[in-house]
Chain A
Amino acid sequence: MPTITINGVACEFTPGQTVLQVATANGIDIPHYCYHEGLSIVASCRICLAEVWAPNPRNDNALEPIPKLLPTCQIQAQDGQHVYTDSPRATANQKAVMEYLLVNHPLDCPVCDQAGECKLQDYSYEHGRGVSRFEETKVKQPKKDVGPNVLLYSDRCIMCTRCVRFTREVTGTNELIVQGRGNKEQIDLFPGKALDNPLASNVIDLCPVGALLDKDFLFKKRVWDLTSSPSVDGITSSGDNLWIDHADGRVYRVRPRTNLEVNLWWITDEVRYGWKHVHSEDRLATPKRRQHGARVETEWPRAIAEAVRGVRRAVDEGRRLAVLLSPMLTSEEAFLLAETARAFDPDAILGLGPVPTVGEDRAFPPSRDGEPVHQSPRSPSPGQPPRPFIMRAEKCPNARGVRRVIEGIGATPLDVVGFVTAIKDHGVGAVILTGNYPSAWSTPDLRGALAREGLFVVLADTLDSPLVELTDVVLPAATWVEKAGTFENAEGRLQSFEAAIRPVAGARAEGQIALDLHAELEQERAKADGAGGSPAGVTPKPARLYDAAATRRRMAEASDALRVFITHTHQPPAQHLRQTDMPVVEV
């Protein structure tokens, strides 16, 4: 394999890779602003320049210096080259570029959201000169409201043009432009447009400085107080990889986690802001039970006991139990609920909850005649994946996974219409519903069927809704950021994730609810069996704790069809599981 030596480290590379890419792959940091893997190369910020020595074939391949500094983000690695980004000339350039970038920068880090994750701060610290010799007047530029979710602080912008290239090359929407020339130049909106497209907020992450900021996150939290947990899209079927940034049990923002096989570097705005229901005022927090026709709050043990009693009574009367498994559930939870349902009633009816869709799948960049419509025919990043980013029409994360589980245990899932028809039948005596959608989801038809006299209804859901009024027992459930599990995305990729935060007060994961119901059921049965013999001798058996990984192993044991959950589940890479908190330095 060809080899290039960067700062004295020999690195193997594949022809076509840029020097910066080779360096990154080998753990060598070269500062860069304008370069981004997902965008075309412009080599305009000039901080990545290196001193290069190349073998001269006309001089017996002796190493000879190239007089110019060269941009490592643009030049391709060549066999035998020696590249230095730590030589006096290269570091002098880094210092100069850092000084230039700060010439017209307001230096308002104390009130800037980006502080703590800002490349200007990082590189100033690593490569800057510490003091500025600039004594003249700074160019002042305005703040601009550029779109529904994004604010632009022009004065902090370093003109790397990542945001402009993003709207050209990825979304194809061209909302952002460069306006003006020289140091008066600024990022602006194309006249008559707003930065309003389904991927718009990615420019916030792309912006290496605090120029493009998230209105939703603005002034909410200093980033060094946040903890980032790797997760997966829990709102649509895309399976986008995410970072959930949280503190003190609250989610503050969601960012894309790079995965070249799934979401590349991006997420849609609906996923980015799709966690709002987690901390909604309408979250169900306390279990409820029916008392004289009204719902009253109760504690978990009582609610579970009452649910089990109600379902058992129906089953004992020879009527069926029907369970609706929501496509918002994790596969593990669907398995545990199905298992519990069969413990109550071996012939339990299993349904798959409504699968909401909006419009059609959309590809970015949009394609025309099968060819992606790019604005940039020149210099795409070498190794840039040819695949587009897909925004999914299906607005639930796990319809495939839940169906796979139901079919894996040998049942056929009913769709919602089939399920509603089934529960209208007087043969059904008890229903367990799961929801967990980010907004109200029940249909009038379903509500009509539930209102039937004599039907015992248990609801495990996250948000208050008209359904609550139709149920006998309400169990507050947990959203995906509060629990672990596995989702199967639209492409059939199984991805597991861990909980980012603990369930909000009073809520429990549906997986836990299934285990609680199951434990209570066994205990009741044991009590009934033992009733004749030793009336006092029953010790309550505690419910197991929901453990997604252990559940996957049990699923594999239960059915060969479910072995894929062991063999094919993708976990976040190990380095993503490490916390990247800022170390606290004692002064």
Chain B
Amino acid sequence: MFTPKLTEPVLTKRIPTYPFGDEADRRIVSYDDYVKTGGYGALRAALAMPPEDVVNAVKESGLRGRGGAGFPTGLKWTFLPKADDPDEPGVRYLAVNADESEPGTFKDRLLLDYDPHLMLEGIAIACYACRLSVAYVYIRGEYHHQARVVENAIKEAYEHGVFGAKGLLDGADTATGKPWAVECHLHRGAGAYICGEETALLESIEGKRGWPRNKPPFPAIEGLFGKPTIINNVETLAHVPSIVEHGADWFKTMGCESSLGGPPSYGSKLMGVSGHVNRPGVYECDLGIPLRVLVEDHSKGMRNGKKFKSAIVGGASTGVIGPDDFDAPMDFDIGRRCNVLGLGTACPTIFDEDTDMVAVARNLARFYKHESCGQCTPCREGSGWMLQLLERIEAGDGRTKDLDLTLEIATSMGAMPGTTICGLADGNNWAVRTILNKFRGEFEARVKPTYVPVTVAVGAAANG
């Protein structure tokens, strides 16, 4: 039996969400509302601490990136080059990843929709701690409404002296003895998934084509406009104020330890459930909550009383789990435990027993083929080839050798084997590979000469 340790909402403190509040009460949190409920107190507390202490607090909390890779945030912050003079480190940037384009992922959106100041406070603290002077919020092109909300929040923050040339909080004195000034800009994407990849995001802000860069050099050394740059997800930054306010130990009371002897998964996490459930939505939960609880409690169970068959774990790129893994805890160990790429964004898409997994594979392959930036040969050509193979298999024109070829193509491409520059190819690889491996029977049936096609519309095909 799973007992939640999260007794009070953290990220959703001002956004009523099940089980802590009623969605009907949600409204945009203005600057005044935010401050009235204790907002920007964490920033004030942070400014009273030496910047290194803030970094250390985040490091000790064990906070891991919420953008997909789960990289320890505090550690990332220490990768910045040491400035000779901490007060004059030169221009260094923070890029906030609000591109949220991973299929099935819509958790940052909740914060952007209702509580943008939480992210802005996180930005201000991160900039103070890491000695960054300019922040760019790179927001997904399709987030028109959210862009307006954030734009307005940034304006409010400037008006109230949070940002601006005078220094954070109207030039408030800091533990270093000098105010620290931060400029914050909103940059809107143009609708390319690849611009969520951190280095493509930097290229895009620079006004170039969103083509991921080779690493090294890592952005912390040579990032935006060639300057040291930290890239963090919206939700990651939104966690920072409460860590500063309540301390690392408080943060560790939520979430879970690793059962596989790996690094722990502390803290709460926004989980966006979609697919064949009764109440899709974003819920704040402990890391480590079993998927079954998320589906049966938070999401009010499977739609039409159907049986659970499979789920994309956390955004299409992570791949799928089979029916046996319904009880899998949603923590950063899920990759190793359930043979998927990782926890990803922790936004599962649930499939019921009627789902045609061949169509799912084809639909995801179509997405990656469409979104491949086209730089690396294996991703550019492999994604197109794989889609055509899957389309043929789905139509009943495939042969068994096509399954092996699809697997071979999928397995050979990705940044992890090193054959591509960025992780988009890994996403494509894991999505197709896990479906094909875990539901091979369905594919085998399709390529048998006796197969009679039955149409089940999924994804784009469903829309015509």
Contact = CB atoms under 8 A, between A and B. Distances in A.
Interface of A: 41-47, 49, 67-71, 74, 92-93, 96-97, 100-101, 103-104, 133-134, 136-137, 139, 158-159, 178, 180-183, 185, 377-379
Contacts of B372: 181-183
B381 A377 contact: no
Given A139-B384, A182-B370, 6 more contacts: A41-B214, A97-B377, A100-B380, A100-B382, A181-B371, A182-B383
Contacts of A70: 418
A70 B222 CA distance: 20
Nearest to B380: A183
A159 B417 contact: no
A101 B412 CA distance: 15
B57 interface: no
A74 B214 contact: yes
B378 interface: yes
Nearest to A73: B214
B192 A181 contact: yes
B78 interface: no
Interface string B413-429: 00111111100000000
Contacts of B370: 181-182
A158 B377 contact: yes
A182 B226 contact: no
B374 interface: yes
B385 interface: yes
A45 B377 contact: yes
A68 B417 contact: yes
Q: Give the one of B370, B374, B412 with max A CB within 10 A.
A: B374
Interface string B372-405: 1111111011111100110010000000000001
Interface string B253-270: 000000000000000000
Contacts of B239: none
Contacts of B381: 100-101, 103-104, 183
Contacts of B421: 43-44
Contact of B419 (A49, A178, A183): A49
A183 B384 contact: yes
Interface of B: 192, 194, 209, 213-214, 222, 226, 369-378, 380-385, 388-389, 392, 405, 412, 415-421
Nearest to B381: A100
A183 B213 CA distance: 19
A159 B380 CA distance: 10
A421 to B, nearest CB: 60
Contact of A181 (B222, B373, B389): B373
A96 B376 CA distance: 12
Contacts of B385: 100, 103, 134, 136
Nearest to A98: B377
A569 to B, nearest CB: 43
B413 to A, nearest CB: 8
Nearest to A76: B216
A159 B374 contact: yes
B384 A46 contact: no
Nearest 7 Cβ contacts at the A-B interface: A68-B418, A69-B418, A136-B388, A100-B381, A185-B374, A183-B384, A182-B372
Given A42-B214, A69-B419, A183-B369, A96 B378 contact: yes
Task: Give the interface SS of chain A, mostly helix, strand, loop or mixed.
Answer: loop
B298 to A, nearest CB: 36
Contacts of B380: 100, 159, 182-183, 185
A47 B214 contact: no
B374 A182 contact: yes
Nearest to A137: B388
A96 B380 CA distance: 13
Contacts of B192: 181
A137 B381 CA distance: 12
A97 B412 CA distance: 10
Nearest to A183: B384
B378 A100 contact: yes
Contacts of B371: 181-182
Nearest to A66: B418
A69 B415 CA distance: 9
A378 B378 contact: no
Given A97-B378, A100-B377, A100-B378, A46 B419 contact: yes
Contact of A93 (B213, B222, B384, B412): B412
A115 B352 CA distance: 54
Contact of B214 (A71, A92, A96, A185): A71
B374 A46 contact: no
A137 B389 CA distance: 10
Contacts of A159: 374-375, 377, 380
Given A182-B369, A378-B226, A44 B418 contact: no
Contacts of A137: 388
Nearest to B418: A68
Contacts of A158: 377
11 contacts: A44-B376, A44-B377, A46-B378, A46-B420, A68-B415, A69-B418, A70-B418, A96-B412, A103-B381, A180-B374, A182-B373
Nearest to B399: A135
Contacts of B222: 378
A93 B418 CA distance: 10
Contacts of A71: 214
Nearest to A377: B226
Contacts of A68: 415-418
B419 A96 contact: yes
B209 A178 contact: yes
Contact of B384 (A42, A96, A104): A104
A46 B418 CA distance: 9
B103 to A, nearest CB: 16
A488 B132 CA distance: 55
A358 to B, nearest CB: 36
B373 to A, nearest CB: 6
Q: Give the one of B372, B389, B392, B418 with max A CB within 10 A.
A: B418
Nearest to A43: B214
Contacts of A45: 376-377
A377 B421 CA distance: 19
A20 to B, nearest CB: 14
Nearest to B222: A378
Contacts of A46: 376-378, 419-420
Nearest to B379: A182
A143 to B, nearest CB: 20
Contacts of B415: 68
Q: Give the one of B369, B405, B412, B415 with max A CB within 10 A.
A: B412
